[in-house]
Amino acid sequence: MSVTAFIIDARGHRLTKKSAYLLSKNLPFITMNKFGFSILVFISFLTVISAQNTQRAITTAAPFLLIAPDARAGGMGDIGVATTADANSQYWNAAKHAFMENKLSMGVFYTPWLRELTNDVFLGGFTISNRLDHRSAWGASVRYFNLGDIALTDREGVPEGTDKLNEFSVDGSYSLLLSETYSMAVTLRYVRSDLGIESTDSSINPVNTFAVDISGYYQSAEKNYGGFNGRWRGGYSISNIGPKVSYSDDGTTNFIPTNLRLGGGFDFIIDGSNTIALTVEFNKLLVPTPPIRNGASREILKGKDDNVSFVSGMFQSFGDAPGGSSEELEEVTWAVGAEYVYNKIFALRAGYFNESELKGSRKYFTVGSGFSVNNTKIDVSYLFNATDINNPLENTLRFSLSFEIGN
């Protein structure tokens, strides 16, 4: 899809076509409404235009917090809240740390972004988790989203330098086994989102905020089911619970992507060497749905006022869609994933992700694989688009590297 507008600042400078596309493709969609002046007057590619008008996609600040970071989850349709514990559990469900088989796990991940358009936009970071004893564990991670060099030009197209935009988060968690099969965790996160254009006269300010995750995980004991053994898994996570933020000085605030995940799965343990895991996951943003307003008076015609606190917004998000309960269901994405593991050395994965056409229309298939040698694991994944909506990860390989130490 092509870019249909430029980003224009208060002095008449504009971002290049490529740069406008880069920002607009930071899915889920970036919320930059009413920043005080025309610094980000764009809605630059057709998907975003559709989402703002005929569709009703929910937008937030700091959307990089919703990007799946690791290749194992990426190979299973971007799911992870109820999969077995691994080095990247910190992002999906920190409560899984209490079920780690190893004392210490460390991971590094790298996800190219918009690789078909540019080579300097990526999500990268690392994770670490450590079991303190048989009941408790802690974890931490750093995520860095680099939007690359954003080129600036004047109205005549004359280059006027570049800006580097980036976002990152740092978090730490503590998880505790409450029984032999159930654990809970709390995560504290610091988030910084710097989308300001330093060479303009506008006041697009960096955002600094804190957020909390609450999560739980269930994993049953292994049980015989006749021709095979098996175990059930279940998990939930409410992530990025935190106050609204503002990029501008005019008092306009935006929600951060508070998000609810629910999932469950079953492991078919065929024998000591072969395991097949099936998992399903549901996902919903706990952010108010924008109401339908009168274009001139801004009077609410349908829906509820979304100018509420973040706490009220979380509860309101379950019943404020202008289209009623049917639209509320449209706001729930779902994904299914499968993983085959041979002897804890080799893994094959596949998945499918589905989002309503009303809320963004992201639909895609994923495949992946993993290899383990001497407590070192390498995972890769690949995404196939299932609609004509461009995906920033289409035709892109994602990589994760992890290390596990001690039993």
The pair of structure tokens assigned to 368 is 């992946």
Question: Quick one: pLDDT at residue 30?
Answer: 34
Question: Quick one: pLDDT at residue 202?
Answer: 52
DSSP letters of 172-234?
Answer: EEEEEESSSSEEEEEEEEEEEEE---TTSSS----EEEEEEEEEEEEEPPPEE-SSSEEEEEE
Measured between its terminal Cα atoms, the distance across the chain in Å is: 50
Determine the Cα–Cα distance for residues 246 and 254; give it in Å rounded to an integer. Answer: 6
Question: Quick one: pLDDT at residue 203?
Answer: 63
Identify whether 48 is part of a domain.
no
Q: How many domains does the chain have?
A: 1
Identify whether 25 is part of a domain.
no
Question: Quick one: pLDDT at residue 55?
Answer: 63
For residue 368, give the CATH number of its domain: 2.40.160.40
Question: Quick one: pLDDT at residue 47?
Answer: 32
Pick from 43, 26, 61: which is nearest to 205 by CA?
A: 61
Q: How many CB atoms lie within 10 A of CB 324?
A: 12
All residue ranges of the chain with pLDDT < 50 are: 1-54, 199-201
Question: Quick one: pLDDT at residue 249?
Answer: 76
Residues 6+ positions from 104 with CB-CB distance below 8 Å: 128, 129, 130, 131, 404, 405, 406
Identify whether 9 is part of a domain.
no
Helices (H), 75-176: 89-92
Determine the Cα–Cα distance for residues 303 and 357; give it in Å rounded to an integer. Answer: 19
Identify whether 15 is part of a domain.
no
Determine the Cα–Cα distance for residues 359 and 313; give it in Å rounded to an integer. Answer: 18
Question: Quick one: pLDDT at residue 132?
Answer: 92
Residue 182 CA, distance from chain mean position? 25
Identify whether 101 is part of a domain.
yes
Question: Quick one: pLDDT at residue 198?
Answer: 53
User: What is the extent of the structural domain holding 174?
Assistant: 62-405
DSSP letters of 18-51?
Answer: HHHHHHHTSSSPB-----SSGGG----BHHHHHH
Burial category of 265 from C-beta neighbours within 10 Å (exposed 0-12, middle 13-18, buried 19 and up): buried
The pTM for the full model equals 0.84
Q: Look-up: residue for tokens 């935006």?
A: 254
Question: Quick one: pLDDT at residue 154?
Answer: 66
Identify whether 174 is part of a domain.
yes
Pick from 129, 233, 144, 143: which is nearest to 185 by CA?
A: 129
